[in-house]
């Protein structure tokens, strides 16, 4: 069965530092891949998605993710963290033709002033 | 345009009681999903409606959970009787076409605490 692993339940960075949130998926054939963000007291919102076009995907708020098939990874990065990036981030996959989205356990990002 | 709305935002009940959660998807979205997140763990799929029909209910934990979507609009998820392990955040999401590459629109969730 498809699975998603997010390394690190908590990540803390200083404002202005690089953000790197890790995600690995289990399938050898890249399905559709997503990063969602949840701000406090809100629902999950889509940050970006990979849908078999370019392997480097740009999303909202300066985030991007790169699909590396050899590593089955889809890590999320942002060059410079902002205080407003503090939230919980979820990596998710969906197989071609499937309706079920499989989520990772989430990574909570803390941004220090 | 209104987003996905869930009610209530919080519910605290005792073991053995019944609770009904409601989800109003975005208007025009035929696809409605229920997910659950138990404390600190992954968000797990419960079931998927296309209009009023259950497309996939493979994630429903047991027969104490009943989901309905009468008329293909809002959906309810009833837990009867509730057990301690049912505690968690229940999310509802909707999408228009149900395509695999389509993003989901989420509600802010219902935090259910069973004491």
Q: Do A41 and B3 make contact, defined as CB atoms within 8 angstroms?
A: no
- CA–CA distance, A18 with A9 (Å, rounded to integer): 17
- CA–CA distance, B65 with B84 (Å, rounded to integer): 14
Mean of the pLDDT values across residues A1-22?
A: 94
The confidence score (pLDDT) of residue A88 equals 97
Asked whether B23 and B6 are in contact (CB, 8 A), the reply is yes
pLDDT value at A105 more than 90: yes
What integer best gives the mean pLDDT of chain B?
94
The confidence score (pLDDT) of residue A52 equals 75
The confidence score (pLDDT) of residue B24 equals 97
Q: What is the pLDDT of residues A52-64, one digit of tens each?
A: 778 899 999 999 9
Please choose, from the candidates A84, A7, A76, A3, the residue with its C-alpha nearest in 3D space to the C-alpha of residue A46.
A76
Question: What are the DSSP E strand ranges found in A39-96?
Answer: 44-50, 56-58, 64-68, 73-78, 87-94
- CA–CA distance, B70 with B5 (Å, rounded to integer): 17
The answer for A 22-61 residues in CB contact with B (under 8 A) is: 31-32, 34, 36, 41-46, 49, 51
Q: Do A100 and B100 make contact, defined as CB atoms within 8 angstroms?
A: no
| pLDDT-derived band at B1, boundaries 50, 70, 90 | low
| pLDDT-derived band at A90, boundaries 50, 70, 90 | very high
């Amino acid at each position: 069965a498809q699975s998603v692993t997010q390394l690190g339940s908590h990540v803390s960075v200083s404002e202005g530092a690089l953000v790197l949130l890790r995600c690995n998926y289990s399938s050898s054939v890249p399905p559709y891949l997503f990063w969602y963000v949840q701000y406090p007291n809100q629902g999950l919102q889509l940050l970006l998605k990979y849908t078999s076009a370019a392997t480097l995907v740009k999303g909202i708020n300066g985030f991007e993710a790169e699909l590396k098939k050899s590593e089955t990874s889809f890590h999320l990065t942002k060059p410079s963290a902002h205080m407003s990036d503090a939230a919980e981030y979820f990596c998710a996959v969906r197989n071609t033709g499937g309706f079920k989205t499989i989520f990772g356990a989430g990574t909570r990002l803390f941004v220090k002033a | 345009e209104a987003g996905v709305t869930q009610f209530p935002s919080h519910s605290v009940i005792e073991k053995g009681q019944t609770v009904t959660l409601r989800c109003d998807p975005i208007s025009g979205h035929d696809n409605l999903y229920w997910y659950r997140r138990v404390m600190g763990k992954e968000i797990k799929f419960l079931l998927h409606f296309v209009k009023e029909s259950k497309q996939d209910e493979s994630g429903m934990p047991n027969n104490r959970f009943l989901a309905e979507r009468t008329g293909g609009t809002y959906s309810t998820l009833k837990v009867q009787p509730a057990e301690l392990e049912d505690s968690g955040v229940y999310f509802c999401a909707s999408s228009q076409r149900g395509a695999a590459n389509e993003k989901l629109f989420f509600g802010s969730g219902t935090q259910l605490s069973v004491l």
